[in-house]
Amino acid sequence: MKVPADTKASTTCDECPIRYRAVCARCEADELSRLEEIKFYRSFEPGQPIVWGGDRMDFVASVVSGVATLTQTLEDGRTQMVGLLLPSDFLGRPGRDRAAYDAVAISRVVLCCFRRKPFDDMMTAMPHLSQRLLEMTLDELDAAREWMLLLGRKTAREKIASFIAIVARREASLQESKPGGQMTIELPLTREAMADYLGLTLETVSRQISALKREGVIELQGKRGVLLPDFERLVGESGDDSDGGWIA
């Protein structure tokens, strides 16, 4: 097992790829420099745990690059993903010194970390920080509620279609474009991780993907690549009304 590579802060906030989307998005130059003093980078290899639920966690962090998951596990081993952390997402909770969930790196992940205590102090001193965190937390809550609808009421087929549509929307938004028509995407998760996300078994995930392929809703390019001949048709399979994204 490779050990975490704790690296020096090698990047300045000015040239940070998540400068305008992370917790620090609203900070002015002077506020940013105070954050810069307490920040440090850590990176994790694919499959490597970032923290275990219940463990002491003396930092909070922004995801700079890569994908990580937040999962919960029942005593008999059943696991459910409860969060998917993408670049600019925030990990940890101010004022709490223990991790609530298991966090695992899916791809190579770089975190911009802040020691918890000084960060907590800045939270009260810098309204720009707490306002932005509130906004991000409210967005996460909305996403969690959308996810609850999926887990509680959608069929396996609808869950898969919804997941692919979510990934497609996000890839489109990264390219500042609207999803629609034909597009190609890359699934960020294995079949097993998708199953944990969707509350299914990996076999059911595999079968439903095969079914959507058989019916021409999607085409596969390798294991992870997906070609969508018609985005709207996929959305039609997801059970959502319209585009599922009326929220701003």
Single-letter amino acid code for the residue at 7: T
Helix (H, G, I), strand (E, B) or coil at 114: strand
The angle at the Cα of 54, spanning 53 to 55, to the nearest 5 degrees, equals: 95
Span near a second copy by CB under 8 A; candidates 19-27, 135-143, 173-181, 211-219? 135-143
> Is residue 11 at the binding interface for a second copy, with CB under 8 A as the rule?
no
> Is residue 239 at the binding interface for a second copy, with CB under 8 A as the rule?
yes
Instruction: Provide the minimum distance between the beta carbon of 165 and a second copy in the complex, in angstroms, as a whole number.
Output: 14
Span near a second copy by CB under 8 A; candidates 109-117, 178-186, 204-212, 233-241? 233-241
Span near a second copy by CB under 8 A; candidates 31-39, 44-52, 90-98, 169-177? 90-98
In angstroms, the CA 63 to CA 74 distance is 26
In angstroms, the CA 113 to CA 9 distance is 10
> Is residue 1 at the binding interface for a second copy, with CB under 8 A as the rule?
no
Q: What does residue 44 show for φ and ψ, rounded to 5 degrees? A: -135, 145
> Is residue 177 at the binding interface for DNA, with CB under 7 A as the rule?
no
> Is residue 186 at the binding interface for DNA, with CB under 7 A as the rule?
no
In sequence order, what are the beta bridge partners of 71? 81, 102
Q: 């802060």: which residue's tokens?
A: 9
Q: Contact at 8 Å (CB) between 136 and 92?
A: no
> Is residue 92 at the binding interface for a second copy, with CB under 8 A as the rule?
no
- Largest Cα–Cα distance of the chain, in whole Å? 57
Single-letter amino acid code for the residue at 220: L
Q: How many residues bind DNA (CB under 7 A)?
A: 21
Angle at which helix 156-174 crosses helix 127-153, to 10 degrees, equals 150
Which residue in 11, 43, 48, 72 binds a second copy (CB under 8 A)? 72
Applying CB under 7 A, the residues found at the interface with DNA are 47, 155-157, 190-192, 199-207, 209-210, 220, 223-224
The residue ranges that bind a second copy (CB under 8 A) are 54, 70, 72, 74-76, 78-80, 82-83, 93, 95-96, 100-101, 123-124, 127, 130-131, 133-135, 137-138, 140-142, 144-149, 151-154, 198-199, 239-241, 246-248
